Amino acid sequence: MLSKMPVLRAGLELPTIRGAAALGGALAEGQSVAEIAASLSGPFADDSAMVAASFDTAILAMLSNQPELGLALQTDVVAQTRLFRVAPGMEATQAIRPLRLLGIAAPGGLQTNMPIEFITAHLPVCLDIAYVSPGIGLPSLLPEHDLAMCLVSDSRPDLLAELAGQLQNWPRPLLNDPGRMAGGHTEMLSREGIARLFEGSPDVWVPLSRTHHRAEIAAELQGDDPLAVLLSGADWPILVRPEASHAGALLEKLNSADELQTYLDSVSAQRLTLTEFVEYRDRDGQYRKRRIALIEGEAHLAHMAISSNWMIHYVNAGMLDSAPKRQEEALAMARFDREFARTHRSALDEIAAALGMDYVLLDCAEAPDGRLLLFEVEMAAIIHALDPLEIFPYKQHQMRKIFEAFGGMLERAAGVVAV
C-alpha cells in the first residue's frame, strides 16, 4: 500500500500527445511515416508541446517497426515527465462533461500496456496516462479523475504485483485492479499460468504450456524422452517461442527433439515457452480463431480470422482478399450472441471469474471435443475501427457495439446515471 496517496489536482496541464490510436489511424489512411514524422517536428509553442511531440515520435517509431529507437526516445521523455494527456476525440470534445479516465501504464513497447485509446477515441472520454516503473511508484501529483484503470499487461508481472499494493484503497473507482487479477496472483496471467489456471476444466481447454531456461532444455534433449520433463502430458508436434513473445514472433511448430535442438541453436532467448499443439482444423480444412472482448464478463466478437494455416493472425489470414471469408465473419458477428457465446457461456463465465478483470481480450477457437479452446489471454492486443469501410462495412456496427459496451462499463464504474 502507498505510504502517501498522490495528490489529485483538477485542471492540471499535461503534455498532450496524439497517441497510438491517432498515429495508427494516420498510417492506416495511407500517410507515410516520413509525413507523420515531419508533422511532429515543430515548431513548438512551448516545452510541453515539444515533450508531447517527442513522445509521439517514440510511438511512431514503434508502430513502424523500429522498437529500439522508440524505446530509447520514450526513455528520454519519461525521464522528464510521467504524465500525459491523449488528445480527445470528437465524442469527447463535443460532450458537455466527458468522463475523466486515468490510465496507469508502464514504459515499454507496444505489448506493455492495454491500448485502450483505440476505444476511448470513439467515446466521450478524456484519457490521461500516468507511467510507473518498479520501485518508483506513482507520481506524487496526479490529475483529478472520475475513475482509474490499470493498463499494465501480463508482460510486467513484477509491476502488476507491486501495483496491487499501491492501488489499494484508491480514492476513485478502479478498473482492472491488479489486486483482483487471477485472484491476486498476477503471475498466473502468463501462458504457463493460464494453462495451470484452467487445468482440468470441463469447459475450457488451454493447451499445456511450460517455460524453461535454455540450459534446462539443452540438458533434457540429451535424454530419450525430453517432453516427459519439459512438457509432461504432451506429444510431438509442439510449439516453441521465446517467453513473453507475441504476434507469432519466432513461433514455430516442431515435430521432433532434433528440430527443437535446431531451434535452440538458432535463437538467443534465455527462456523459451513450449506449448502443446492442438489440431483445431474444422471439417472444411480451415482454422478459425476468434478474438473476443470480455467486458464486465460479457463476450463480444471483435474479429474472426479464417485460414488454412494453423498460425493465424488477422493480417495474414487473407481476410482482405477473400469476400467469402468476410461474409462468414459478418455472419459470425451477427449470430455470435445466440450461437458461439451461448454454446460456450459456461466457459466464458469461468474465464471471466478466474481472471477477475473488467476488460480483457481472448484469442480462442472451438476445440475438437467441443470445449472452448483458449490460446491466449490478450492484455495488450488491439481492437479498433481502422479497417476500410468499403471492404469491411459490417465491422463498423460491431466495433461501435463493443465501444459502447466499454463506455457503459466506464460510466457504471464512475457512478454516472444515464438520463
Residue 138 and residue 132 in contact, taking contact as beta carbons nearer than 8 Å = yes
Q: Over 285-316, what HEC string results?
A: CCEEEEEEEEECCEEEEEEEEEECCCCCCHHH
pLDDT of 246: 66
Q: What percent of the chain has pLDDT over 70?
A: 98
At residue 4, the pLDDT reads 75
Instruction: Read off the pLDDT of each residue in 101-116 and give the average, rounded to a whole number.
Output: 96
- Measure the CA–CA gap between 341 and 89, rounded to whole angstroms: 31
287-414 CATH fold: D-amino Acid Aminotransferase; Chain A, domain 1 (3.30.470)
Sorting pLDDT into bands at 50, 70 and 90, what band is 18? Answer: very high
pLDDT, greater one: 92 or 5: 92
Average pLDDT, the chain: 94
- For the stretch 247-256, pLDDT in tens is 667 899 999 9
pLDDT at residue 3 tops 60 = no
Q: pTM of the predicted model, to two decimals?
A: 0.94
Q: Is residue 353 over pLDDT 50?
A: yes
- Could you tell me if 101 and 147 are in contact, meaning their C-beta atoms sit under 8 angstroms apart? yes
Cell 519519461 belongs to: 78
- Residue 99's pLDDT band, with cuts at 50, 70 and 90, is very high
> Does the pLDDT of residue 419 top 50, yes or no?
no
User: What's the mean pLDDT in 227-233?
Assistant: 95
Q: What is the pLDDT of residues 65-81, one digit of tens each?
A: 999 999 999 999 999 99
pLDDT tens digits along 50-61: 999 999 999 999
Fold of 208-276: Dna Ligase; domain 1 (3.30.1490)
Q: What is the pLDDT of residue 313?
A: 85
Residues 6+ positions from 377 with CB-CB distance below 8 Å: 154, 189, 194, 355, 360, 361, 362
Looking at the predicted structure, is the pLDDT value of residue 1 above 90? no
CB atoms within 10 A of CB 3: 6
Helix axes 67-78, 47-63, angle to 10 degrees: 160
Position 108 pLDDT exceeds 70: yes
Above 50 in pLDDT, residue 220? Answer: yes
| pLDDT tens readout for residues 288-326 | 999 999 999 999 999 999 999 999 888 889 999 999 999
Q: Is 267 helix (H, G, I), strand (E, B) or coil?
A: coil
What burial letters (b/e) apply to 239-252, b meaning 16+ CB within 10 Å?
bbbbbbbbeeeeeb
Mean pLDDT (whole number) for 10-17: 96
The predicted pLDDT at position 247 comes to 66
Q: What is the DSSP letter of 224?
A: S
Residue given cell 471435443 in the structure block:
369
In percent, the amount of the chain with pLDDT more than 90 equals: 91
pLDDT at 408 over 60: yes
pLDDT in tens, 21-42: 999 999 999 999 999 999 999 8
pLDDT at position 22 is: 96
- CATH 3.30.470.20 residue ranges for the chain: 287-414
Q: How confident is the model at residue 360 (pLDDT cuts 50, 70, 90)?
A: very high
Q: Which residue has cell 523500429?
A: 66
Residue 418 has pLDDT above 50, yes or no: no
